Amino acid sequence: GNESRLQAIYQITNREPIPPKAPKRLEEMWATDVFSLSKMQSCLPKEVFKSVKKTIQTGDKLDATVADVVAIAMKDWAIAKGALYYSHVFYPLTNATAEKHDGFISVQGDGSVISEFAGKVLVQGEPDGSSFPNGGIRSTFEARGYTAWDVTSPAYVMETDNGITLCIPTVFISWTGEALDKKTPLLRSIAAMNKAATKVLKLLGHTNVAPVNSSCGAEQEYFLIDANFANSRPDLLLAGRTLFGKPAAKGQQFDDHYFGAIPERVQVFMQDVEERMYRLGIPAKTRHNEVAPGQFELAPFFEAANVASDHQQLTMTILRHTAKKHGFICLLHEKPFAGINGSGKHVNWSVGNATQGNLLDPGDDPHSNAQFLVFCGAVIRGVHKYGPLLRAVVATASNDHRLGANEAPPAIISVYLGSQLEDVFEQISKGDVKSSKHKGIMNLGVDTLPIFPKDPGDRNRTSPFAFTGNRFEFRAVGSGQSVSGPLVAMNTILADSLDWIGNRLESDLAKGTELNVAILSVLKEVMDEHGAVVFGGNGYSEEWHKMAVEERGLANLRTTADALPVLKEGYIEDLFQKTGVLSPVELASRFEVYAEQYLLSIEVEAKLVISMAKTLIYPAAVKYLTDLANAIACLKEVGIAFEVESAEKVSTLLKSMTDSVTKLTEALGKHDFATPEEHMQYAAHTIRPLMDGVRKYADALEGEIADDLWPLPTYQEMLFIK
Ligand code: ADP
Ligand code: MG
């Protein structure tokens, strides 16, 4: 019956609200839980601090003697904050954050204990990594993986289920030096991009060029559902999404949720989330309701990509933990509810440095426009050449429900520039600027470009990769995904393009070509070869899907099964190898791990579909059918003819559902696949449609069966009762 549903509603409507906390001043909270540079400065000897600061700026490994001093200072600070444990936090290939906790406690010869934390423990740890997916890099006899502090990301204390813990952000590498995590390639991709960008900037005439870094600001969408509901939905608990459920009569068709007033309970939750973020030095900036009911968004101020990526992982952890405290479950799944908007993560990304500023800012002085056009052109080339890679790095079983499923954004990777920039690049590609000898026209692309307005008003929400004023916004990233993979891909393709542009400019200049002419010619070539990726129209339209593939030769990789094998292609292997971001072995291991995750999550869902259909929906339908049959029989006895159609309908639907369950069960029994590729295709094109088949009949039954027999909290209840 529906007891657990009713119980949930009772609990929710009678809940004692958590009172809002008195608002604190930002300065009172800001980074109080971070062992920041300024804290180090105040507690470290001057020489040591200088050395640490330099290491942080260069990203090198800490000197052993320095590490000892830093470790003691860090330990004392953490203990004063109440920490008993420390943990090397690392980022395995699962999108999760992993940590192994160790106590500071050290037992002495006389049986007494002291708190201990040596420099070598700070710099390097040895977690038992054997249970983390490594795609065949390590055999079990050499299962050890090492963690090493990434000095560019500060240590912090965090309240976890274990109490308060000192957390040290680390890279995770194998005994043989291979990257087993998501941070190591990110650091390498930044280094590769820096190298190529520095060369280009010097060719453009800059003599003073500070290290170039990439920046990231990730907008996080999520759903909040009351935990009481989630607890009676095995699908939400185990798969993070509803595998069954008839759309609510009131969906999002009224659009009244977007930017609407945030319900008080959610507001208290958000305030709590923000306080925890501020204490950890994460610059939470905007929050609002999203399009769907129960959906919200949180965006921080952008930061250096590496720190932003760590902070994004922390943000997801904080959202989940805090939700629990407030009686919610936070769903980071890309498509928790059918028929309602999904959740994404818009990764805003740019590159820049201290001397030239944001290199993707068109600025308003004509000289910097040439520089901007070179960097923007490099992005265009990269996205065209490696579009399938960008699709592959956002390929997960859950994100397939957005990409390629006629939802935002499409699976075809194109670039939106905005009408003004599009026009500038069109002029460049027409090359009439080149054919004329008149100086004024000759320099059109460089010295006398139109001044770009700071924030171009036109925005295209249907593009997966859009220029938004002074950065690109990669919108195809999944809401539950680490931002690291997408950042690695963007930095690496940019490194590759800048390297190519740099070499072209270098040889042209050596031949005595004027800089402006050389720039124009290389940009024209970029547009000739790669202009097909620029698209400003409606990315959802059918015409675009046809045109993109048939006329422009862009890939439309609808499913993860189509997209992941891209990682095995020779040109992708070359890209990662020549930029030094991933070795062929490391790249191959990523394919293995992601393919396995894809297969596993579909298998888990398929099994859940079967068990929920059999143990929850089937019994409810049978009970209803029995009640109906009894009623019909009773009425007949007293001479009242009662319609039997509804009983027949339920019975037919039930039979169809049962048949679908049988088919799905049989299909799941197949295991003889020659390759993971073949298995993925089977999961995408056989298992998934069969799951949808079961759901279709189950959802139809939900519309027939008496409400008081329906066992699962409904869409209406989950999305609208708060
Ligand atoms: P919108 O919803 O209009 O896209 P938001 O304000 O929600 O805008 O999010 C914009 C995000 O882009 C923020 O996280 C912001 O910090 C980030 N951002 C702005 N400038 C840059 C930049 N140069 N590099 C990276 N991210 C940036
Ligand atoms: Mg955005």
Q: Which residues of 384-419 are buried (b: 16+ CB within 10 A; e: fewer)?
A: bbbbbbbbbbbbbbbbbbbbbbebbbbbbbbbbbbe
Among 678, 556, 18, residue whose Cα is nearest residue 327: 18
**Residue 172: which CATH number?**
3.10.20.70
Q: Is 463 in the pocket of ligand 1 (CB under 6 A)?
A: no
285-320 tens-digit pLDDT: 988 877 678 899 999 999 999 999 999 999 999 999
237 or 109, which is more confident? 237
Residue 338 and residue 398 in one domain: yes
Within-domain flag for 522: yes
Among 385, 387, 377, residue whose Cα is nearest residue 505: 377
Closest residue by Cα to atom 1, ligand 1, is 219
Ligand closest to CA 457: 1
State in Å: Cα 214 to ligand 1 middle: 13
**Residue 609 exposed, middle or buried by CB count within 10 Å (0-12, 13-18, 19+):** buried
Q: Where are the beta strands (DSSP E) in 209-268?
A: 213-226
If one counts the domains in the chain, the total is: 3
β pairing state of 328-331 and 213-226: antiparallel
Rank 62-66, 141-145, 341-345, 684-688 by mean pLDDT and report only the highest. Answer: 684-688
State in Å: Cα 219 to ligand 2 middle: 6
Q: Which residues of 179-198 are buried (b: 16+ CB within 10 A; e: fewer)?
A: bbbbbbbbbbbbbbbbbbbb
Residue 589 and residue 604 in one domain: no
AA letter at 53: K
Which element (helix H / strand E) includes 347? strand 345-353
Count of C-beta atoms within a 10 Å radius of residue 7:
13
Q: Is 472 in the pocket of ligand 1 (CB under 6 A)?
A: no
Q: Which atom of ligand 1 is nearest to the CA of 218?
A: 14
Domain limit, last residue, from 154, 181, 208: 181
Residue 340 and residue 467 in one domain: yes
**Residue 358 exposed, middle or buried by CB count within 10 Å (0-12, 13-18, 19+):** middle
Residue 610 and residue 545 in one domain: no
Say whether pLDDT at 427 is over 50: yes
Say whether pLDDT at 186 is over 70: yes
21 or 187, which is more confident? 187
Within-domain flag for 263: yes
Ligand closest to CA 301: 1
Domain limit, last residue, from 596, 615, 636: 596
Residue 648 and residue 609 in one domain: yes
Q: Is 219 in the pocket of ligand 1 (CB under 6 A)?
A: yes
Say whether pLDDT at 426 is over 70: yes
Q: Is 352 in the pocket of ligand 1 (CB under 6 A)?
A: no
Q: Which atom of ligand 1 is nearest to the CA of 468?
A: 4
Q: What phi, psi does 415 have (nearest 5°)?
A: -115, 130
Residue 94 and residue 198 in one domain: no
State in Å: Cα 259 to ligand 2 middle: 14
Within-domain flag for 488: yes
State in Å: Cα 459 to ligand 2 middle: 10
AA letter at 311: H
Q: What average pLDDT does the structure give for the chain?
A: 89
Residue 137 and residue 59 in one domain: yes
Q: Is 216 in the pocket of ligand 1 (CB under 6 A)?
A: yes
Ligand closest to CA 471: 1
ipTM: 0.95
**Residue 317: which CATH number?**
3.30.590.10
Residue 595: partners with Cβ closer than 8 Å, 6 or more residues away: 564, 676, 677, 679, 680
- Joined together, the tokens standing for residue 176 give 């043989």
Residue 235 and residue 305 in one domain: yes
Residue 493 and residue 577 in one domain: yes
Residue 74 and residue 149 in one domain: yes
d(CA 423, CA 441): 15
Q: Which atom of ligand 1 is nearest to the CA of 349?
A: 25
Q: Is 214 in the pocket of ligand 1 (CB under 6 A)?
A: no
Helix boundaries (H) for 59-124: 64-80, 119-123
State in Å: Cα 459 to ligand 1 middle: 13
**Whole-number Cα distances in Å, 210 to 58, 214, 479, 598:** 11, 13, 33, 41
Count of C-beta atoms within a 10 Å radius of residue 139:
8
Angle at 565 between CA 563 and CA 571, to 5 degrees: 105
pTM (2 decimals)? 0.93
Substitution candidate for ligand 1 out of 258, 287, 455, 471 with most atoms within 8 A of CB: 471
Residue 214 and residue 161 in one domain: no
State in Å: Cα 81 to ligand 1 middle: 33
Domain limit, last residue, from 596, 615, 647: 596
- Joined together, the tokens standing for residue 611 give 């068990």
Ligand closest to CA 345: 2
Domain interval for residue 688: 597-720
Residue 345 and residue 328 in one domain: yes
State in Å: Cα 386 to ligand 2 middle: 22
Paired residues of 560 in beta bridges: none
State in Å: Cα 346 to ligand 2 middle: 6
Within-domain flag for 48: yes
Among 643, 426, 670, residue whose Cα is nearest residue 531: 426
State in Å: Cα 422 to ligand 1 middle: 21
Which element (helix H / strand E) includes 159? strand 156-160
Q: Which residues of 25-56 are buried (b: 16+ CB within 10 A; e: fewer)?
A: eeeebbbbbbbbeebbeebbeeebbebbeebb
Q: Is 470 in the pocket of ligand 1 (CB under 6 A)?
A: yes
Say whether pLDDT at 256 is over 70: no
Q: Give the residue-averaged pLDDT of 520-546.
A: 93
**Residue 700: which CATH number?**
1.20.120.1560
**Whole-number Cα distances in Å, 54 to 37, 49, 58, 152, 470:** 11, 9, 6, 10, 29
Substitution candidate for ligand 1 out of 212, 214, 219, 379 with most atoms within 8 A of CB: 219
What 3 state SS string does 38-62 have? HHHHHHCCHHHHHHHHHHHHHCCCC
Say whether pLDDT at 481 is over 90: yes
Check: CB of residue 410 under 8 Å from CB of residue 462: yes
State in Å: Cα 527 to ligand 1 middle: 27
Q: Which atom of ligand 1 is nearest to the CA of 348?
A: 26
70-90 tens-digit pLDDT: 999 999 999 999 998 999 998
Q: Which atom of ligand 1 is nearest to the CA of 217?
A: 14
Within-domain flag for 19: no
